[in-house]
């Protein structure tokens, strides 16, 4: 059977596949420690759930405007005014079924066949495939560990060839947790000023930063980039609302209306009462977010410490998100009972078998000698998981 050429070379999301594997093993009674999760392990705050229930009881069960309800678009514009000093009107906001959906619509809206998209690696698994699905060509730029996995202005300059029409900036980053300081953004913005391309600023982890790190968006650092930047954000990570599917894009009207047109011919509006919950999430007291950040920071410190005591594992301290991304290349060539560790996938398979620990191999993030661990799991599991991994790695020859 002939299927579309467009989907050749597109991979299913490995992170979702591994999370499903961990859940299946748990259901069979295996005591699995899951470091694969791409979502906070906290419940959605009660006040947000109650807002959805209230909306349902008030009959908010119909289609809404395709681009999302006016109130939510206004609340989002207010957030950017308050936090970043950026002025967006409600017509410059599109609400979608998660940040991923916004990103997909925006990629479809701005890229044409053959357009190159600069994606710094390590990267979140979906950018590459989204660029391909839009007919684009991913131009992956490998960042360096000594630069904290951040693209440098020199690297960006060198990558911005004549066919480049997009640059993806993800800070804090999934999978490395690396975030760009205002000064670093300023230097990147100077390079971008002289190259006419779209900038996709994926800020879904903007609130999950540690040790007083100051998050800033690149447009608030350099307003000249506003007319060609799209900001992507989401309720998923900040408010533990991954299942609700509410995310959004902010940007100039031509891009937002084109992305909305695409959304109108695919999903239509995001779920009505989830939008009401999102209004409450963004407008209500933010204490739960602060509490979650405190707990994530404690866990981050513990897992980094634990991983760095293991021979062959080298882990930087990330500024944000809830992932750590140690380099494990020093373990390549080591022998297990039945074979050899020759790749990150071999290592994660070994950890699953020997330690019942699930982690995501780095290949699909564009970093084949790294492994991603999510610390969106309990402190106890982090301690137990580190002990089990340390014991398993000691058995390697
Ligand atoms: N961007 C990044 C970097 C992510 O890690 C994710 C989720 O894992 C998303 C976007 C999309 O999240 P959602 O669609 O749940 O808003």
Ligand 1: atom nearest CA of 101 is 14
What is the whole-number distance in angstroms between the Cα of residue 37 and the centre of ligand 1? 12
pLDDT at 153: 98
Q: What is the 3-state secondary structure (H, E, C) of 242-262?
A: HHHCCEEEECCHHHHHHHHHH
Map residue 156 onto helix, strand or coil: helix
Cβ(372) to ligand 1 under 6 A? Answer: no
* Contact between residue 344 and residue 369 where contact means Cβ atoms under 8 Å apart: yes
Ligand 1: atom nearest CA of 234 is 16
Ligand 1: atom nearest CA of 246 is 16
Distances (CA, A) of 391 to 34, 280, 309, 386: 17, 46, 11, 9
CB-CB neighbours of 76 under 10 Å = 26
Nearest Cα neighbor of 396 from 344, 345, 356, 338 is 338
Cβ(238) to ligand 1 under 6 A? Answer: no
- The pTM of this model reads 0.96
Cβ(204) to ligand 1 under 6 A? Answer: yes
What is the whole-number distance in angstroms between the Cα of residue 237 and the centre of ligand 1? 8
What is the whole-number distance in angstroms between the Cα of residue 123 and the centre of ligand 1? 12
CB-CB neighbours of 114 under 10 Å = 10
CB-CB neighbours of 161 under 10 Å = 10
pLDDT at 119: 98
And the tokens for 313? 């594992």
Torsion sign across C-alpha atoms 168, 242, 383, 203: positive
And the tokens for 391? 């014991």
Annotate 289-320 with b (16+ C-beta within 10 A) or e (fewer): beebbebbbebbeebbebbeebebbebbebbb
Cβ(242) to ligand 1 under 6 A? Answer: yes
Nearest Cα neighbor of 123 from 395, 291, 365 is 365
Torsion sign across C-alpha atoms 44, 45, 50, 51: negative
Can you tell me which residue has the tokens 């020997």? 354
Nearest-angstrom CA–CA distance, 223 and 364 = 34
Q: What is the pLDDT along the chain (397 residues), one digit of tens a residue?
A: 889 988 888 887 777 777 777 788 889 999 999 999 889 999 999 999 999 999 999 999 999 999 999 999 999 999 999 999 999 999 999 999 999 999 999 999 999 999 999 999 999 999 999 999 999 999 999 999 999 999 999 999 999 999 999 999 999 999 999 999 999 999 999 999 999 999 999 999 999 999 999 999 999 999 999 999 999 999 999 999 999 999 999 999 999 999 999 999 999 999 999 999 999 999 999 999 999 999 999 999 999 999 999 999 999 999 999 999 999 999 999 999 989 999 999 999 999 999 999 999 999 999 999 999 999 999 999 999 999 999 999 999 9
Ligand 1 pocket mutation pick from 126, 128, 169, 203 by most atoms within 8 angstroms of CB? 126
Output phi, psi for 355, to 5 deg. -120, 0
CB-CB neighbours of 165 under 10 Å = 20
Query: In which region does residue 325 sit, left (phi positive, over 0), alpha (psi from -120 to 50) or beta (all else)?
Result: beta
Cβ(124) to ligand 1 under 6 A? Answer: yes
Ligand 1 pocket mutation pick from 39, 107, 127, 174 by most atoms within 8 angstroms of CB? 174
pLDDT at 348: 95
Torsion sign across C-alpha atoms 78, 58, 237, 126: negative
Cβ(155) to ligand 1 under 6 A? Answer: no
What is the whole-number distance in angstroms between the Cα of residue 129 and the centre of ligand 1? 14
Ligand 1 pocket mutation pick from 106, 122, 124 by most atoms within 8 angstroms of CB? 124
Ligand 1: atom nearest CA of 103 is 10
What is the whole-number distance in angstroms between the Cα of residue 340 and the centre of ligand 1? 34
Cβ(236) to ligand 1 under 6 A? Answer: yes
Ligand 1: atom nearest CA of 247 is 16
Cβ(174) to ligand 1 under 6 A? Answer: yes
List, as one string, the DSSP characters of 100-126.
HHHHHHHHHHH--TT-EEEEEES--HH
Cβ(96) to ligand 1 under 6 A? Answer: no
- Residue-wise pLDDT tens digits, 271-280: 999 999 999 9
What is the whole-number distance in angstroms between the Cα of residue 172 and the centre of ligand 1? 11
What is the whole-number distance in angstroms between the Cα of residue 98 and the centre of ligand 1? 7
* 349 CB-near residues (< 8 Å, 6+ apart): none
* Contact between residue 368 and residue 346 where contact means Cβ atoms under 8 Å apart: no
What is the whole-number distance in angstroms between the Cα of residue 99 and the centre of ligand 1? 6
List, as one string, the DSSP characters of 189-205.
HHHHHTS--EEEEE-TT
């Amino acid at each position: 059977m002939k299927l579309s050429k467009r989907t050749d070379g597109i991979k299913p999301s490995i992170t979702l596949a591994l999370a499903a594997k961990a859940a299946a093993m748990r259901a069979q009674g295996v005591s699995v420690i899951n470091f694969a999760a791409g979502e906070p392990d906290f419940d959605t705050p009660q006040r947000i759930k109650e807002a959805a229930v209230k909306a349902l009881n008030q009959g908010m069960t119909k289609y809404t405007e395709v681009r999302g309800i006016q109130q939510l678009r206004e609340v989002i514009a207010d957030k950017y005014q308050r936090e970043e000093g950026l002025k967006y009107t409600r017509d410059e906001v599109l609400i979608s079924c998660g940040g991923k959906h916004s990103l997909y619509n925006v990629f479809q809206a701005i890229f044409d066949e053959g357009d190159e998209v600069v994606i710094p690696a390590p990267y979140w698994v979906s950018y590459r495939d989204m660029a391909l699905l839009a007919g684009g060509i991913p131009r992956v730029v490998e960042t360096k560990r000594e630069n904290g996995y951040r693209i440098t202005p020199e690297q960006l300059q060198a990558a911005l060839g004549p066919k480049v029409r997009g640059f993806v900036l993800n800070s804090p980053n999934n999978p490395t947790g690396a975030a760009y300081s205002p000064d670093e953004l300023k230097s990147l913005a100077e390079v971008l000023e002289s190259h006419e391309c779209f900038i996709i600023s994926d800020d879904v982890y903007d609130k999950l930063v540690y040790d007083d790190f100051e998050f800033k968006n690149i447009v608030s650092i350099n307003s000249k980039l506003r007319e060609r930047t799209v900001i992507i954000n989401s309720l998923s990570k900040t408010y533990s609302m991954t299942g609700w599917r509410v995310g959004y894009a902010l940007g100039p009207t031509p891009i937002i209306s084109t992305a909305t047109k695409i959304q109108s011919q695919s999903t239509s509006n995001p779920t009505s009462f989830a939008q009401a919950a999102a209004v409450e999430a963004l407008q209500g007291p933010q204490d739960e977010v602060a509490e979650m950040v405190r707990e994530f920071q404690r866990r981050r410190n513990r897992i980094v410490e634990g991983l760095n005591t293991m021979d062959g594992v080298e882990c930087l301290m990330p500024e944000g998100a809830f992932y750590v991304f140690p380099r494990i290349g020093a373990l390549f060539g080591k022998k297990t009972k039945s074979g050899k560790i020759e790749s990150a996938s071999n290592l994660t398979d070994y950890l699953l078998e020997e330690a019942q620990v699930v982690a995501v191999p780095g290949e699909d993030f564009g970093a084949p000698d790294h492994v991603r661990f999510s610390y969106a799991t309990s402190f106890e599991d982090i301690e137990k998981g580190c002990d089990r991994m340390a014991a398993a790695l000691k058995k390697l020859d």
